[in-house]
Amino acid sequence: MKNNKFYSLVVAVFITVISYGQEKQNISVLYVGYSSEKPMPENLESTAVTGGMTPERFKAEYGKRMPAFKKLLETYFTNVKTVDARDYKEAMSLNYNVTIFDEAPSPLKERVIHTDSVTGEYLSMEPAKYVSDDFSSASIFIGHTSSVIGSSLGSKLDWYCLCLDRHAHHIKTEHEIFKGPFKTEITLKNRETPDGVLKAFDGFDVPKEIPMWEVDSEGYLDGNGFRVGMVARGWGFEDSSNAEIISSGVCTKQKTAVALGRHGNFFLWGFAGSPDYMTEEAKKVFANAIVYTNKHADDKMIVRKYNERIATKQYIDEMLYYTTEPSYLAYVEAYKGFNESTMKAKKAAEEKQAAGEELNKHEKMLLNSKPQVIGTREDYLKKNIGRNSWAEITGLDTLAIRKYLTENRDYFFSEPNGFYDLKVDEDIKSLGIANTDINVLDKAISMLEKGVETEKAHRILMRYTLEDFTTPKAWRKWFNTYKNNMFFTESGGFVWMVNDANANPKVRPRNEADIVSNKSN
């Protein structure tokens, strides 16, 4: 009798496992978040702490995310450990297949901003460091943690915008994370296309409604202080192997903004909801993402993106868009809508104050709000075009701008520390070879070998590679060895690299001082 009962129990469990496709994966997972057993962090105005959640909502939900994630993870994986972010040491990750960062650990080094000693003008920034430069454990970053932790590592999972809500769109539905090992179907429903997509330079062909997938049951746009998700920049995201965009999401940015994506063995889950708010479909996809990240545990980042604000050549398309009338009209419409909503919110705050109710920080700021001045088209061009270094050549003449950008597209590059700015490389323009054409390296090496314009050749090789050989023979040997396995990355600094993490030299700081100026021609 006992044997029959045992047999029935085994069969029931087996049927349950098969029917739900939830047989646990033999993967060990470390979750890093905030524990209710430790005091609440003090700085609740910092998004690095709250992820954009209002202080009130953060206090109400403090300590609830960790047990929710623990419960979900134990459903799908054999070994799960949770640790408070303030107790986390990166050596812990060495004992687990995948680490999930829901909160950032204590910084090893604070952020440093460099400014001009005379003018005070911003020059560059060293991001805060939360893990060592050698950190390479397979990890999933939830929301803001991807940039907070990954910036110092050169991850492409950067901080484009802390503005991701709860729906995904422009989804690669054929991707592995939507297939298994935990079987699920993602339900797509047409929803109104976000303004950020429709009014972007690449949004003309997007319909008014697009298929979307609900990831979380609540989002920050519901107005209840919910945690905010994050998207990374899509510019040049996939210009190297081991980097892929899986989905965008509802945010204020264009359709290429990355809500789900991978760079090396780091995975961005940009949506902010804990399992308490994830849809049933999203829970399984999240579990699949962990399996997928573990599968790519040895795929290191080949390209390192140390400058979040580097402009790729897609930036040229955006600049061209700013020269059009539809772009200006969209700007006017957007500012009118912003002013209307701000004044409405200000009125509500004033009424709340008059009723003797306590205002939060945001409401207090609203009391001093004034409508934004909507500039003329000339003002608009000055703001968006005038800040570029090449605007000194074109002025604000839209026809001249279009001509200059189009004719010089092949020769534009960004300084390693460039701040949304592109320059024309007069060296390669004189050769008539695009920097995206590997023949530019071959030509420069040939110039060294022939002793022709050697300074120019050296500038080209220093600008578009990370190498620093001292003889033409060494340059030629390197080029012939790797030329069939090289690629050009714009997001990684406008350089040609070998498609092998072990074949590239350690990335060195690069700035214009390392390269003889074009002006010396």
Q: Cβ(69)–Cβ(139) under 8 Å?
A: no
* Residue 119: φ, ψ to 5°: -90, -20
Looking up tokens 């599968």 gives: 295
Query: What are the Cα distances from residue 387, in Å, to 183, 325, 380, 396?
Result: 50, 19, 11, 11
Whole-number pLDDT of residue 168: 98
Q: Are 45 and 361 in contact (CB under 8 A)?
A: yes
Confidence tier at 2 by pLDDT (50, 70, 90)? very low
Longest dimension (CA), the chain: 94
* Residue 116 predicted with pLDDT over 90: no
Separation between Cα atoms, residue 45 and residue 476, nearest integer Å: 55
Say what the pLDDT of residue 507 is.
54
Residue 471 has pLDDT above 60, yes or no: yes
Mean pLDDT check: name the lowest of 9-18, 144-153, 415-424, 495-504.
9-18
What pLDDT, on a 0 to 100 scale, did the predictor assign at position 505?
66
For residues 35 and 63, what is the distance between their CA atoms, to the nearest angstrom?
A: 5
Q: Average pLDDT, stretch 462-475?
A: 96
Residue holding tokens 């949506």?
Answer: 271
Question: For residue 448, what are the CA distances in angstroms to 73, 314, 425, 475, 476?
Answer: 58, 32, 19, 9, 10
pLDDT score of 85 more than 60: yes
Taking the C-alpha atoms of residue 265 and residue 242, their distance in angstroms, rounded to an integer, is 8
Residue 99, judged by CB atoms within 10 A of its CB (0-12, 13-18, 19+), counts as: buried
Q: Tell me the average pLDDT of the chain.
A: 91
State pLDDT tens for residues 436-456: 999 999 999 999 999 999 999
Question: Is there a cis peptide before residue 181, judged by omega within 30 degrees of 0?
Answer: yes
112 — alpha (psi -120 to 50), left (phi > 0) or beta?
beta
CA-to-CA dists, residue 340 to 319, 347, 368, 511, angstroms: 28, 11, 15, 44
**Residue 210: CB partners within 8 Å, gap ≥ 6?**
169, 170, 190, 191, 193, 197
User: Average pLDDT of 43-61?
Assistant: 91
Concatenated DSSP letters of 85-99: GGG--GGGGGGSSEE
Tens-digit pLDDT profile for residues 202-251: 998 899 999 999 999 999 999 999 999 999 999 999 999 999 999 999 99
Q: Give me the pLDDT at residue 502, please.
A: 78
The angle that helices 398-407 and 314-322 make with each other, rounded to 10 degrees, is: 170
Q: How confident is the model at residue 73 (pLDDT cuts 50, 70, 90)?
A: very high
* Closest to 214 measured CA to CA, from 121, 279, 132: 279
pLDDT at 481 over 90: yes
The CA-atom distances, in angstroms, between 168 and each of 144, 177, 231, 521 are 17, 14, 11, 50
360, 270, 347: which is closest to 45 by C-alpha? Answer: 360
Q: Which of 191, 192, 168 is nearest to 281 (CA)?
A: 168
Spatial contact of 233 and 158, defined as CB atoms under 8 Å apart: yes
